[in-house]
Structure 1
Amino acid sequence: MLGLCLGLAGSIWAQVPAEQLTLSWTHTIEKVRWAEDYRILPDGFILEQARVKGSGAGMEIPADAVLIDGNWHYQPKLPVLPMLKLGRTPEAGDYQLCVSSANQEQQCQPMSFWVGEPTTAQPSIELWACDIQN
């Protein structure tokens, strides 16, 4: 079964069965909510849609974005991303990770639900697609 692995340098800290994920966070300086929807493939992730509440430092809204319910929605045109490497520190707060698959409803939890609280000793985490054994 395809799923999501969370860890660092190939060391698996957690595995979550999933076919899709939404990663969301609040920008540390602008305090603006950001969300990205990914489809999980055996070789990585496809970023299908992104949403942001407003622009700011390093957060320019693309020209083709559409404002829906207070969020700018757009579809980035990126190749398959083999891995997502995320900065993760106590000062920045935690990510929210929502996962779903064909046989389960979307479940949303702070990333700390699966891998513990962010720490200054471990300021990053990697996400990659992996096979999960039942």
Structure 2
Amino acid sequence: MAGTLIIALAPEGRFTLEWVHSVEKEGWREEWQLTEEGLSNTRAAVKGSGAGMEPGEGGHWEGRWWVWQPKGQPIQRLVLAASGATGSGWRLCGADCVTLGSTGGEPILIEPCGQDGDHPAG
């Protein structure tokens, strides 16, 4: 399992992914839930709007953030491109927080482990 990082999630399989938009330089936040169907994006928020940062359907203003509930289906794998050109990476917070992809490299895959803790096939 060379190159594999295993991250413990918060109770009930929840985690938050935060980053700074590469063009608008504003914050973006997504809340995720691990379900039997896969990874489900349960809430998203952007700090402002602009190129590629339009709030989703039903977006409303909360404090300094546009917040909405994404309507997509659960996914099996979340892929984060790691160009190293954005000036920062992603901050993933589950039981603890870790920064991912702050330097260029291979894409980062976020996916559930198998039932026995092994990395899933495929």
Q: TM-score range by the shorter chain?
A: 0.7 to 0.9
Alignment match, 1:75 = 69
Q: Distance in 1 between matches of 2:63 and 2:106?
A: 33
1:98-109 mapped onto 2 (5 Å cutoff): 98-100=93-95, 107-109=96-98
DSSP 3-state at the match of 2:50? coil
Number of residues paired by the alignment?
112
1:54-65 mapped onto 2 (5 Å cutoff): 54-65=48-59
**Residue segments in structure 1 that go unaligned for 5+ positions in a row:** 1-6, 101-106
Deviation of 1:74 after TM superposition, in Å, equals 0.3
Amino acid at match of 2:92: L
Amino acid at match of 2:17: L
Decide which structure has greater strand share.
1
Q: Does 1:14 align with 2:5?
A: yes
Change (3 A) 1:12 1:128: farther
Over the aligned positions, Cα root-mean-square deviation in angstroms equals: 2.1
**Residue segments in structure 2 that go unaligned for 5+ positions in a row:** none
Q: Distance in 1 between matches of 2:77 and 2:50?
A: 26
Deviation of 1:75 after TM superposition, in Å, equals 0.0
DSSP 3-state at the match of 1:130? coil
Relative contact order, CA 8 A, sep 6+: which one is greater? 1
Alignment match, 2:45 = 51
Tell me the TM-score normalised to structure 2 length: 0.80
Tell me the TM-score normalised to structure 1 length: 0.74
CA contact (8 A) 2:56 2:69 kept: no
Identity of aligned residues (%): 27
Q: Deviations over 1:44-67 (max 9, x none)?
A: 201100010111111212341111
CA contact (8 A) 1:97 1:109 kept: yes
Q: Distance in 2 between matches of 1:63 and 1:40?
A: 23
Q: Which runs of 4+ in 1 moved over 3 A?
A: none
Q: Does 1:94 align with 2:83?
A: no
DSSP 3-state at the match of 2:85? helix
